[in-house]
Amino acid sequence: MDFSNRVFLAPLTKGGNLPFRRLCLEHGCTVTMGEMAYAYQVVKKSRSELALLRKHEDETCFGAQIAAMRIDDAVRAAAEAVDRGASWIDLNCGCPIHDIVKRRMGATLMRKPRKLARLVEGMVEGISVPVTVKIRLGWSEEEQNASEVARVCEESGAKAICIHGRTKDQRYSRAADWDAIAEIASERNIPVIGNGDLLTWYEVRDRWKQSGVASVMIGRGALIKPWIFREITEQKAWEPNAKERLGVYLDFAGKLKEHFRDDEKGRERAMRFLPWHLDFFCRYRPLSDQKWVESAADHPLMQTRMPSTEGLSLLEQLLRDPRKEVHTRIANLLWDAGDLEEAEANALQLVAEMPPESGDAGEVATAHG
């Protein structure tokens, strides 16, 4: 496994489900990662946790991410992932959510570098594939030790380190600090993968070059527009109109249907994901380099990039609507549609029933990975 010159799909909790990864593959992604799995639950043979390690046959370069605090659990969970086709195992040391932090995993491990060193060393010794570590800059603005943690991980045998350019406390409220990522990349002899606020192909290009990282990882940029990988490869934007985007979402619904089965039980399972994804899809804006490359540095956060909806088509306004009830309705019409023409007709009928509200203002929720 070569960790240099790659564009990784981040290990996104809930968002990184197998059907969504397949959608990203169709749009140019070549390196995928599964959702974070709790190692201790994998060891217990939890069906829901084992499902997170499953890969599709089209995923030829697939990594599994685990959360662990005990070497034995990590090694045994990794063996399950390798048996299912994982090319490498990533240890989550950056997740900020309460459930993982209270279990002394995720970002908590950054506060105990010596314990982390033993954990990484044990994993390297006990696992047959490369081990990587994903970290944040630290616990808080006052407690930033990513440089030390990265050094410890390298000395313990990690083959690469991914750095999300924010602290645990910052979550997604501050712009990612790519200067800090660059500094750590210059200190390390193993590949450093940069992550944070990569929403367009030109930001990937510029931050990759300026920071000197070996590779980059895309999270929310992919959740908003899965075709970002295609844009990075082609070095130009693809700005699909509303109907074209509806077609992408219909394709995703079809992949969910294939994965969960086309029955009521399958619909029920898919609806745990599809409306959630539409909450990200609705944030798509055509941020072409001609208009945005100069101001991208001043607007690194997704929630500051909300151009006006004035003059947009009804279908465009619908796809930008931030209301959860609208996302649920769109999800169901996508599930029921036989083709794109039917999906469009039903979407326009929905517009008549629920006049769109603009998604260009207000709070923006986040995902983690």
Name residue 141's amino acid: E
d(CA 141, CA 201) in angstroms, rounded, equals: 29
Residue 218 covered by a domain: yes
103 and 52 belong to one structural domain: yes
Which helix (H) or strand (E) segment holds residue 162: the answer is strand 160-164
The residue ranking higher by pLDDT, 309 or 316, is: 316
Q: Is 61 a catalytic residue?
A: no
User: Given this model, what pLDDT does residue 174 score?
Assistant: 81
Residue 366 covered by a domain: no
Report DSSP letters for 89-156, one per residue. Answer: EEEEE----HHHHHTT-GGGGGG-HHHHHHHHHHHHHH-SS-EEEEEESEEETTEE-HHHHHHHHHHT
109 and 246 belong to one structural domain: no
Tokens of 251: 């394709």
> What are the tens digits of pLDDT across the range 209-230?
999 999 999 999 999 999 999 9
Domain closes at, from 187, 203, 234: 234
Residue 369 covered by a domain: no
229 and 246 belong to one structural domain: no
d(CA 134, CA 136) in angstroms, rounded, equals: 7
CA distances from 200 to 82, 185, 222, 288, 293 (A): 33, 22, 10, 8, 9
**Looking at 93, 95, 162, 282, which residue is catalytic?**
95
199 and 265 belong to one structural domain: no
How many distinct structural domains can be found in the chain? 2
Tokens of 244: 């074209």
41 and 166 belong to one structural domain: yes
Domain closes at, from 182, 201, 234: 234
Give the angle subtended at the CA of 159 by the CAs of 18 and 19, to the nearest 5°: 5
Domain closes at, from 215, 234, 253: 234
User: Given this model, what pLDDT does residue 142 score?
Assistant: 87
Residue 162 covered by a domain: yes
- What does pLDDT average to over the chain? 91
168 and 265 belong to one structural domain: no
* pLDDT exceeds cutoff 50 at 182: yes
108 and 257 belong to one structural domain: no
> What are the tens digits of pLDDT across the range 82-118?
999 999 999 999 888 888 888 899 889 999 999 999 9
281 and 174 belong to one structural domain: no
95 and 72 belong to one structural domain: yes
Q: Note the pTM of the prediction, 2 decimals.
A: 0.91
Residue 259 covered by a domain: yes
**Could you say which DSSP state residue 35 is in?**
P
* pLDDT exceeds cutoff 60 at 309: no
**pLDDT > 90 fraction of the chain, expressed in percent and rounded:** 81
279 and 227 belong to one structural domain: no
74 and 215 belong to one structural domain: yes
Residue 267 covered by a domain: yes
228 and 254 belong to one structural domain: no
Range of the domain at 270: 242-353
Residue 13 covered by a domain: yes
CATH code, 177: 3.20.20.70
Residue 362 covered by a domain: no
Half-sphere exposure of 115 (CA within 13 A, CB side): 13
